[in-house]
A and B are shown apart, each in its own frame.
Chain A
């Protein structure tokens, strides 16, 4: 931040010019840079942000209440609609949580298919993030590139389960769809085609002077703040903490794969950008290994048609593209969950916005909202 004050001194007040008092500015809920319907009330001194308050809930649909009135299988499609750019991850977390409650495990082939699709989904989610984030900051081209390339992944989803976005790809106990003919080749082709595209994105941004000036030193979060605020995912890793649930508490078959956890140094917007770019590369690595090692066998575990998990409580979380996505499910032994609590990464991460933007400029708020990678469908549920 210090290198930015050379051209605009924010801390000294010029009494003769204008004694600016606190100004309250409303940003959103209908604002292109809020990625949905997020309202941020900014308290400003001139252009300097003194504080913010987020008003959320515009997309609240009562997902947790709906869960209590649906059977376990019926609730499965609803979770896709929380983080709608990473619906596969949502489904994975939910299915795994219920499987844990039911005490079954998906067969190896199903686990591999799940990992392949989830990692593809991570790439797609990061592409949406990169495109919109760059657009917010003023770089228009990455948006078109990202959305064009994301289409290749969505095509795989469509071929696999018929849906592009709200996929409902997995079922409790495994996968319901067998990998279609040519699934492996499609995935490998997608990976091979994607890597040069990723270099293209980087060419546009990584050394771009405007990009660097707009992102370096903006919205710094140190590891202590991250932990205190419960921030997870790439935002946490960019602050230097090497923590990823895929490694820390491996679920599915992630322990079979060799991949790195990219971390940043400064915890600023630029590092978060680099971390996510590198994460996409690592996802490609995982997909390639998973496709090569895709075992044969059943894709569905033996589970009863009517699911009645034993009485108990379970918390299960996965590393979604945005951070730790957890499901806390209470079963009373009936066909419907007694309580489903979703621990949404976007909701918790958004709380860090206030800390990140204090002292920055209004334009930086846009950059910070973008770098947090929130999806309002998940924030509001």
Chain B
């Protein structure tokens, strides 16, 4: 952008200084706008200033100093053209960074029909970075999963897992990741349950849920009603505690189990 202005008006030194503060004021509300090529008219003078007077930076800096609200950012900018992008860049980047991508409403026939059928039971139907997910009430979860398997042809249950949020009232997120070979599509179905609550097992819908639910039970202590063989899978049967809960420190062990079965005081 500065190159363009340089080519068009190589020498216009006299008229610039009075114009510069004003342009600085104008540009001040949105420092990011300076970077945009479309706003060349507003930011043009200051940019020109920078381009035409690289040899005498103090002259260029002066008008910026007079323009108090213009902030140091614009002053620096006009002083050194190569660094022009630098001060503006954080200002431009700063707002989106803490936000990141936001979940967007998931607009599809499936989401619409589920919403119309279950109403408030579907708490959320969104996409996040292109990945679709539903948050549903735990009371209608089984019904929804049954429908996903049947009518919606999500025939492959990729994974079942949980996330523990100890500060929430409903402490656990249970996540079902489903895939449909017919649509080549993946959907996550989430529900929230309280500690001590149980969910209905989906082994009858997807056989693969057998071990996956056992692992959730093993690691989080969430039980699944109707599961054919709900017991620990990775940890020993007599183990106490559920390691993937947040209140289970990383070095914690079932000392008693370790002592009885390994004959040592502690594994650590």
Q: Does A271 contact B (CB under 8 A)?
A: no
With A and B bound together, what is the CA distance between A330 and B158 in angstroms? Answer: 17
With A and B bound together, what is the CA distance between A66 and B250 in angstroms? Answer: 7
Q: Are B206 and A228 in contact (CB under 8 A)?
A: yes
Q: Interface readout for A309-337 with B: 1 if CB under 8 Å, 0 if not?
A: 11111110100000010101010010000
Q: Are B250 and A65 in contact (CB under 8 A)?
A: yes
Interface size class of B (residues with CB under 8 A): 35 or more
Q: Are A57 and B186 in contact (CB under 8 A)?
A: no
Question: In B116-161, which residues have CB < 8 Å from any A CB?
Answer: 128-129, 131, 133, 155-159, 161
Q: Does A380 contact B (CB under 8 A)?
A: yes
With A and B bound together, what is the CA distance between A92 and B44 in angstroms? Answer: 47
Q: CB within 8 A of B100: which of A311, A326, A351? A: A311
Q: Are A328 and B250 in contact (CB under 8 A)?
A: no
Q: Are B243 and A65 in contact (CB under 8 A)?
A: yes
Residues of B with C-beta under 8 A to A60: 234-235
Q: Are B207 and A315 in contact (CB under 8 A)?
A: no
Residues of B with C-beta under 8 A to A330: 163
Q: Does A339 contact B (CB under 8 A)?
A: yes
* B133 nearest in chain A by CB position: A313
Q: Does B59 contact A (CB under 8 A)?
A: no
Residues of B with C-beta under 8 A to A57: 232-236
- Within the complex, the shortest CB–CB distance from A82 to chain B, in Å, comes to 13
Q: Does A348 contact B (CB under 8 A)?
A: yes
- Given known contacts A324-B158, A341-B161, A315 and B208 CB-to-CB distance under 8 angstroms: no
Q: Does B238 contact A (CB under 8 A)?
A: no
Q: Are A326 and B243 in contact (CB under 8 A)?
A: no
- Given known contacts A338-B163, A351-B210, A315 and B233 CB-to-CB distance under 8 angstroms: no
Q: Are A309 and B208 in contact (CB under 8 A)?
A: no
Q: Are B98 and A310 in contact (CB under 8 A)?
A: yes
Q: Are B159 and A380 in contact (CB under 8 A)?
A: no
Q: Does A30 contact B (CB under 8 A)?
A: no
With A and B bound together, what is the CA distance between A230 and B244 in angstroms? Answer: 24
Point out which of B103, B156, B184, B232 has the most chain A C-beta atoms below 10 A from its C-beta.
B156
Q: Are B184 and A248 in contact (CB under 8 A)?
A: yes
With A and B bound together, what is the CA distance between A230 and B98 in angstroms? Answer: 37
With A and B bound together, what is the CA distance between A274 and B217 in angstroms? Answer: 38
With A and B bound together, what is the CA distance between A324 and B179 in angstroms? Answer: 12
* A348 nearest in chain B by CB position: B208
Q: Are B234 and A380 in contact (CB under 8 A)?
A: yes
- Within the complex, the shortest CB–CB distance from A310 to chain B, in Å, comes to 2
Q: Are A326 and B158 in contact (CB under 8 A)?
A: yes
- Within the complex, the shortest CB–CB distance from A350 to chain B, in Å, comes to 8
Q: Does A254 contact B (CB under 8 A)?
A: no
Residues of B with C-beta under 8 A to A333: 98
Q: Are B211 and A227 in contact (CB under 8 A)?
A: no
Question: In B236-260, which residues have CB < 8 Å from any A CB?
Answer: 236, 243-244, 248, 250
Q: Are B156 and A64 in contact (CB under 8 A)?
A: no
Residues of B with C-beta under 8 A to A241: 181
Residues of B with C-beta under 8 A to A311: 100
Q: Interface readout for B67-98 with A: 1 if CB under 8 Å, 0 if not?
A: 00000000000000000000000000000011
Q: Are B208 and A313 in contact (CB under 8 A)?
A: no
Q: Does A251 contact B (CB under 8 A)?
A: no
Q: Are A328 and B159 in contact (CB under 8 A)?
A: yes
Q: CB within 8 A of A310: which of B100, B186, B219? A: B100
Q: Interface readout for A96-113 with B: 1 if CB under 8 Å, 0 if not?
A: 000011010000000000
- Within the complex, the shortest CB–CB distance from B172 to chain A, in Å, comes to 11
- Within the complex, the shortest CB–CB distance from B149 to chain A, in Å, comes to 10
Q: Are A249 and B159 in contact (CB under 8 A)?
A: no
Question: In A37-71, which residues have CB < 8 Å from any B CB?
Answer: 56-57, 60, 62, 64-66, 68-69
Q: CB within 8 A of B129: which of A68, A100, A228, A317? A: A100
With A and B bound together, what is the CA distance between A164 and B248 in angstroms? Answer: 35
Q: Are B206 and A62 in contact (CB under 8 A)?
A: no
Q: Does A366 contact B (CB under 8 A)?
A: no
With A and B bound together, what is the CA distance between A317 and B179 in angstroms? Answer: 12
- Given known contacts A62-B243, A343-B158, A351-B208, A328 and B100 CB-to-CB distance under 8 angstroms: no
Q: Are A351 and B101 in contact (CB under 8 A)?
A: no
* 19 A–B pairs (Cβ distance < 8 Å), ordered by A: A57-B233, A62-B243, A65-B248, A69-B250, A249-B186, A309-B100, A310-B97, A312-B100, A313-B175, A315-B188, A317-B158, A326-B159, A328-B161, A343-B161, A351-B208, A351-B210, A351-B211, A380-B234, A381-B234
Having A311-B100, A348-B208, one finds 8 other A-B pairs with CB under 8 Å, namely A56-B233, A56-B234, A103-B100, A103-B129, A228-B207, A229-B207, A230-B156, A312-B128
- The 8 lowest CB-CB distance pairs between A and B, nearest first, are A310-B100, A230-B208, A57-B234, A343-B159, A341-B161, A228-B207, A60-B234, A339-B163
